A and B are shown apart, each in its own frame.
Chain A
Amino acid sequence: MHITEGFLPPLHAAAWTAVSLPFIIASAWRVNRLMRDQPQTKLLLAASGAFAFVISALKLPSLTGSCSHATGTGLGAILFGPSVMALLGTIVLAFQALLLAHGGITTLGANVFSMAVAGPWVAYAVLRGSRWLNTPLAAGVFLAAMLGDLTTYTVTAGQLALAFPDPASGMVGSFIKFVGVFAPTQLPLAVVEGLLTVVIVDFLREYSGDELRSLEFPPETFAAEARP
């Protein structure tokens, strides 16, 4: 999902930076407040960021004979709420842009938006939705992490389509083309990310009860709220 350095026209690069910046600032503020009000969750926050760090460093092979990496941002988003991930994701992406020639500074805004804003928000919404529908927690966590991952890649495809509309078929044609590049590679990886996230959440439920309670995780189900 990394748009390579220089691969967005200057106007697009600036616009995505402007879009992402408020999310990063809000995220820094949120993380700061979390550290002050709930310092006992500090280590768990570090571990959630580290999860995204390791997951996005591993390029995994896919069925299509190409490779890609998962994002790992779903875990932190469902535990801490989506807003904290903007900061953590930016740290990951900046590391890769500066030291690994992966992604870029000019495209950082666009990459932050897809990986650290759109993906986490979708993951969070999916988990909330699954609680509302009363599905088992594991299924909700799996879908949240998987769909968050896929969202990131879909948004990247959208960003590229906006910048590079196909001369014949326009933005839609271009979008389909970029989704066609990402989707088949990403689908199995998103499933892997979903599975790993379920295992970690399960571990946390067993061993990190105190932190989860103070974060009010898992969110209550709809039925539990409706019960007298």
Chain B
Amino acid sequence: MKARNGGLLVLAVALVIGSVLVGSRREGAEFAGSDGRAMEAVATIQPDYRPWFGFVWEPPPEIASGLFALQAALGAGIVGYYLGFKRGQAQGRRSRTDAGD
């Protein structure tokens, strides 16, 4: 089970790395977001459409990268806390039963 999960994680990382390698060989590859490209597609379908509402607040690019990192860190932190907590709990249970034997 452990080996299988390790394999799956390696596969996931390999997919991402492979994507960068294959993707950057393509002409004009700049890894633009697909959301942005969809909005460009809107412009080709209806060139006269103008967004009627602007962002409430747009962070400066450097701040935006920090906020994205913050979002990822908060998420990863909580997930990591949970996984570690559960593992520790299971280990504690095991060592208690060992001591009881």
Contacts and interface: CB of A to CB of B under 8 A. Distances in A.
B22 A192 contact: no
A74 to B, nearest CB: 14
B15 A192 contact: yes
Q: Classify the secondary structure of A's interface with B.
A: helix
Interface string A83-101: 0000000000001111111
B5 to A, nearest CB: 5
A162 interface: no
Contacts of B11: 195
Q: Classify the secondary structure of B's interface with A.
A: helix
A6 B35 contact: no
B53 A65 contact: no
A64 interface: yes
Given A6-B53, A177-B45, A50 B79 contact: yes
B31 A98 contact: no
B23 A44 contact: no
B62 interface: no
Interface string A1-24: 111111101100000000000000
A167 interface: yes
A44 B82 contact: yes
Interface of A: 1-7, 9-10, 43-44, 46-47, 49-68, 95-102, 104-106, 156-157, 160, 164-167, 174, 177-178, 181-182, 185-186, 188, 191-192, 195-196, 198-199, 202-204, 206-208
20 contacts: A3-B35, A4-B35, A4-B39, A5-B55, A46-B78, A54-B76, A57-B75, A64-B23, A65-B28, A100-B59, A100-B68, A101-B55, A106-B53, A157-B38, A160-B38, A160-B41, A174-B45, A192-B16, A195-B8, A207-B89
Interface of B: 1, 4-5, 8-9, 11-12, 15-16, 18-20, 22-24, 26, 28-39, 41-42, 45-46, 49, 51-59, 64, 67-69, 71-72, 74-79, 81-83, 85-87, 89-90
